[in-house]
Amino acid sequence: MRILDRYIMKQMIRTMLIGSLAFLVVFISLDMVENIDDFVDSNASITTVLKYYSFQVPYIFNLTLPIATLIACLFTVGQMARYTELIAMRASGIRFLRIIVPLMVVGMLTSLTSLAIGELIEPESNAIVRAIKANEIKKPKKTVPRGKKTNVSYRGRSGVFYFTPSFDTRRNIMTNVVIEKTSGDRLIYRINAKRAVWRDSVWVFVDAWVRWFDENGDVDREAYIPEGTISGLCDKPGDIVREQRKPEEMGYVQLHQLIKRVEESGGDPTRYRVGLNMKLAFPFTNLVVILIGSPLSARIRRGGIALGVGRGLSITFIYYGFIRVGQTLGDHGILPPFVAAWLGNLVFAACGIILILHAEKY
């Protein structure tokens, strides 16, 4: 690696880490002000509050990392432009595209880091945050929520997974339910039932097919149950409704499996498909912002940090607007899930490439 590359990467990484820490502090401070009434009303201890925000760090870090990356890029290239370092580099025969290569390397590494955190750490931490807020900060509900729940998924005891697109919590009835029993990586049996009714402390299935699978994953035998029970299913309606995880609390594989079960049961998985694609698209925002930030900051001659932060926040606001619009259009089926999730990245990457080609001429 050339000395110049190390110099640029060092400046970029240092500024990015400082920016991430600053945004983390600002985000937590604002959230604490917003939730102070809940903390006081619930008599939450300092330990509970610290635990609540500690588990929010992965989510906040990933959410604000593109902003920190963009501002670091604007500041790094802007400083080189301000002190005529870019002119010296160009005069020595180094093309602008070559100058930003170390920035692109940092952007790719940052994107991969964000992807790893979003897949390995963030889902579990988000679930813990929700549990802390529900059980320790806000008063937990003593009864099962009344009404209708849609796309309910729950991993119960002894490797049993429940999914239903419609759960009537007033009558404790699951419709078009899919239940799978696993042992390790092996699928033991699957139940597909038109209805499952909680009656006399057991689940009673109506119009159900039960299929048992061998070690190779092939159907070993199957049975039709007009109305009856299956032993080993001891999860109560309150457990299934209360403990279901949201998409942001699932990893890529878990969410993909949920989509398959939604399809199998006749539900609409569009919103989950958009969320699945977002899990891949959003981390690479960190790479795209460098494409658009580096040529913009190459023409900065004055203004320093203040101008860089201002531009960074403005661009990020527009960028997040595109992401939100694409997500909304995808959720409503107006755009395909892939296009909806990648809309912001595609638009800004195209703009960034055009700006880089324009900067090459000067």
Residue 76 Cα distances to 56, 263, 350, angstroms: 29, 48, 22
Rounded Cα–Cα distance for residues 176 and 152 (Å): 11
Rounded Cα–Cα distance for residues 279 and 271 (Å): 13
Task: Give the pLDDT score at 265.
Answer: 58
Tokens representing residue 341 in the block: 């999730």
CB 341 within 8 A of CB 278: yes
Burial group, residue 215, by CB count within 10 angstroms (0-12, 13-18, 19+): exposed
Task: Give the pLDDT score at 146.
Answer: 55
Task: Quick: pLDDT tens for 109-130.
Answer: 999 999 999 999 999 999 899 8
Tokens representing residue 70 in the block: 């963009």
Domain locations in the chain as residue ranges? 3-134+276-359, 157-242
Average pLDDT, the chain: 87
Task: Quick: pLDDT tens for 28-86.
Answer: 999 999 989 888 888 888 999 999 999 999 999 999 999 999 989 988 888 888 888 88
DSSP for 83-137?
Answer: TTHHHHHHHTT--HHHHTHHHHHHHHHHHHHHHHHHHHTHHHHHHHHHHHIIIII
Residues sharing a CB contact under 8 Å with residue 123, sequence separation 6 or more, in sequence order = 245, 248, 249, 250, 251, 254
Rounded Cα–Cα distance for residues 113 and 121 (Å): 11
DSSP 302: S
CATH architecture designation of domain 157-242: Sandwich (2.60)
